Amino acid sequence: MTMTETPTRAADTVRRTTAGVTFAKPPAETAGEAAIRIRDANLWYGRNQALYDITMDIPARQATAFIGPSGCGKSTLLRCLNRMNDLIDNVRVTGEFLVNGQNIYAPSTDVIEVRRRIGMVFQKSNPLPKSIYENVVYGLRIAGIRDKATLDEACERSLRGAALWDEVKDRLDESGLSLSGGQQQRLCIARAIAIEPEIVLMDEPCSALDPIATLKVEELIYELKSKYTIVIVTHNLQQAARVSDKTAFFWLGKLVEHSNTAELFTNPREKHTEDYITGRFG
Amino acid sequence: MSPLRDILRRGDPAIWFAGTGLGISILMISGMIGLILWNGLGFFWPSDLEEFTLKDGTIVMGEVVTREAIPAPGTPDHLKRFRLQVKAGNRDVSGADFRWINEDEIAARQIPRDAVYVERREYGPFIGRPVKLVDGDREIAAGVDVIAALPPLVDKAHDDRKAIRTIERDDIGAVNYRIEQLRLEQRALDLDAVRRPGVDQTGARAAIEQQLSALQTEYEALEQKRATAVEAASRARITLKTASGEEKDLPVLDVFRFFAPNQLGAWGRTQVYLGRVWEFLSGDPRESNTEGGIFPAIFGTVMMVMLMTVVAVPFGVLAALYLREYARQGVLVRIVRIAVNNLAGVPSIVFGVFGLGFFVYFVGGAIDQTFYPERLPTPTFGTGGILWAALTLGLLTVPVVIVASEEALAAVPRSMREASLATGATKFQTILRVVLPAAAPGILTGLILAMARGAGEVAPLMITGVVKLAPDLPLDGYFPFLHLERKFMHLGFHIYDVGFQSPNVEAAKPMVYATAVLLLAIVVLLNLTAIIVRNRLRKKYQTSAFS
């Protein structure tokens, strides 16, 4: 459905909403390489259906944003991607989630392997009650890596990658809980990238952070894009516009629109999308 | 709004009520602890020895223990006159340790400087005056000079007693142990002869006989050595005189402590006090547990609590882990949980009876049949012992541990688990590396509660292995070093036994208080240690959002 009434006013509102934002430019299409292909995904919490026939491709080494009003299923879909919904009772998932051609919901799939290749950063930062060093190398330790040199190198690499190294390099033995909120979230990002996953999922990573910390994390995401595929769920439309290459808009469990960010924000195809990003609901 | 309404609305009466309740509770607890401390710790302080000359001519000398009003209901004198209870000692001479003296009967009262207090091996303390000190036939000191001359000899007696005890316990004890082993081997051969008749045992039996006779000779030699040592040590003798003139002759070997309290200043008395406290904590009991020390009871209590904790806590934590993390949360799990909660309320004597029937008779009997047939019909494990007592109490405290651990595990925030799982950890790894350490403070709380409950229970112990007087400790130098089948002494039972089963009630009373102080102190110490460890862990694992 195309925009019908007062296109100028709608466009104005969109421009106002996204004023001062430099849109991310998706890199030259890497031959349409998709990190994740979702085909006809449906999800039920008990008797309530939460996702309806989701079909989409998430491109590799780009950032894809999931936006939509509360309860639209974006977090649910995100958690499907690394099988974290398995932890909830009464969840039933159908459809295919293909990562590198393999369906991660196939019965023969090793969940641990899936979670190693697809990392996650949560809404409320959750550092483990261990030292900073132990937090970062946690993923490596549980994978069986014990060599100190390897762990040290991975720790430094990840903390640099998370833009946290300079701030904590002298106090790696201190508890991870002694950091500020923004630092904790970057620690969680460091922990996620330490095991060198292919895909990093982020569930509203900045919602509990102040603007400056948010900015730092956004810059981080911008840099991580070149190495990892990022999928980020966010309520913050400006953030989605700033950071992501592609945006998917969800509404009541359905995928409404999925296109390049700049396009979706300046020239949305669907009316629901336009209503949402102009603030008419949600 | 009337002032009364205002007060009611603010809830002041409820607050006053609660405050008063708390105040009364604190008063009662501190009163009880104060009473126990005063009586228990005051027991060891050496007070003056007073000499009372009564109007009818009798002379009584001793420590004043209490002063109370004489009840004479119906007469105008009721509770107006007073009497003193005097600890006069000399049970072998006068028949009774303690005497009551009405204050009206006292003609004269003085504090003689040459009065002495002698703690000895039997018949309780001797209170009187020294007459003379001899070594064999030679007189060393007489009269008051004995007081100065005796202390070095008492120290020597202490060393002599230790040497004699070493011969008895270690040397003779080792020989006895080997003789016992050989006799058991003989018995094993006997049983073997029944099971496999026709096998030639003469060689084995001859070897045993040979060893036995060698050991017998060794035993006799050691016995001789011991007798000589005792005889040599007993050459020094002291003669004492009671206040009323009867004389008593004692070998110095039997003297444990000797001092003239009326001559001692504060420092001297403190030394006696500390000496007595040390003897209480580290010595063995004498005189049917009314004198001496209670070290075996301390050892038995602590060892049993340790064993019980080792049994109950791992089981409890693992059970809680399974119930909370792995079991499917359905009806069955709910029933199990209810059953566990109810088990925590079962009276301890019921556990005791269960322990007796199952552990002692069934399991213990089976062990005896299988591993110790040659000792039968004397039971080894088929009777009460520290192992069965610890297991019974462990059963008693497992529900407490399970409940506390489950609470602790449930309190670990979901975000922590998800953080671990999202990094690719298995459920087991998450539990081991994240959940259990974070739940450790709560689990330790469970451990504290369990230890406190277990250390205080006495009823189940009485039927599963506690005795009034145990000849050995459950831990000694003989293989297998930890003797779990042995009976043991326990402070809680000791209080009951000394307080209510003792032939000499008056002498036992202060002992009961002293033992109660000790039991309180041990429980407080155990709890404090666990609390400190828990607080350290809490600080380490405190999450940023909530503790």
Chain A residue set in contact with B, beta carbons under 8 Å: 82, 84, 87, 112-113, 115-116, 119-120, 122, 124, 126-129, 138-139, 142-143, 175, 177, 184, 188, 191-192, 195
Evaluate if residue B129 carries a pLDDT over 80: yes
Q: Is residue A118 part of a domain?
A: yes
Domain coverage including residue A205 = 7-277
Note down pLDDT in tens along chain A; length 282 residues: 344 444 444 445 555 555 555 555 444 444 457 889 999 999 999 999 999 999 999 999 999 999 998 888 899 999 999 999 988 888 999 999 998 888 999 988 899 999 999 999 999 999 999 999 999 999 999 998 899 999 999 999 999 888 889 999 899 999 888 898 889 999 999 999 999 899 999 999 988 888 888 888 888 888 888 888 999 999 888 888 889 999 999 989 999 999 999 888 888 888 888 888 887 764
Kind and range of the H or E element at A139? helix A132-142
HEC secondary structure over B8-72: HHHCHHHHHHHHHHHHHHHHHHHHHHHHHHHHHHHCCCCCCCEEEEECCCCEEEEEEEEEEECCC
Around B372, how many Cα atoms within 13 Å sit in the side-chain half-sphere?
Answer: 16
With beta carbons under 8 A apart, name residues in chain B contacting A124: 415, 545
CATH number (domain holding residue A260): 3.40.50.300
Determine the residue of chain A that is closest to B537 in CA distance.
A129
Model pLDDT, residue A281: 61
Contact A142 B429 (CB under 8 A): yes
User: Residue ranges of the domains in chain B?
Assistant: 50-111, 138-263, 295-541
Strand partners, B130: B240
Q: Is residue A2 part of a domain?
A: no
- Work out how many domains chain A is built from and give that number: 1
Q: Is residue A1 part of a domain?
A: no
Determine the residue of chain B that is closest to A80 in CA distance.
B422
Q: Is residue A210 part of a domain?
A: yes
Q: Which of A280, A188, A255 is nearest to A41 (CA)?
A: A255
Compute CA distances B459 → A108, A280, B456, whole Å: 57, 75, 10
ipTM: 0.85
The answer, for B437 touching chain A at a CB cutoff of 8 Å, is yes
The residue with greater pLDDT, B362 or B142, is B362
Best of A75, A126, A138 to mutate (most B CBs within 10 Å, chain B): A126
With beta carbons under 8 A apart, name residues in chain B contacting A113: 424
What pTM does this model have?
0.78
Contact A175 B540 (CB under 8 A): yes
With beta carbons under 8 A apart, name residues in chain A contacting B415: 122, 124, 126
Q: Is residue A89 part of a domain?
A: yes
Strand partners, B250: B238
Which own/partner pairs from B61-68 qualify as long-range (CB within 8 Å, at least 24 positions apart)? B61/B88, B61/B112, B61/B115, B61/B127, B61/B128, B61/B242, B61/B243, B62/B86, B62/B87, B62/B88, B62/B89, B62/B99, B62/B127, B63/B87, B63/B127, B65/B98, B65/B506
* Residue B186 to residue B378: CA distance in whole angstroms: 15
Name which CATH class applies to B295-541: mainly alpha
Nearest-neighbour CA in chain A from B332: distance (Å): 18
With beta carbons under 8 A apart, name residues in chain B contacting A138: 420, 423, 425, 433
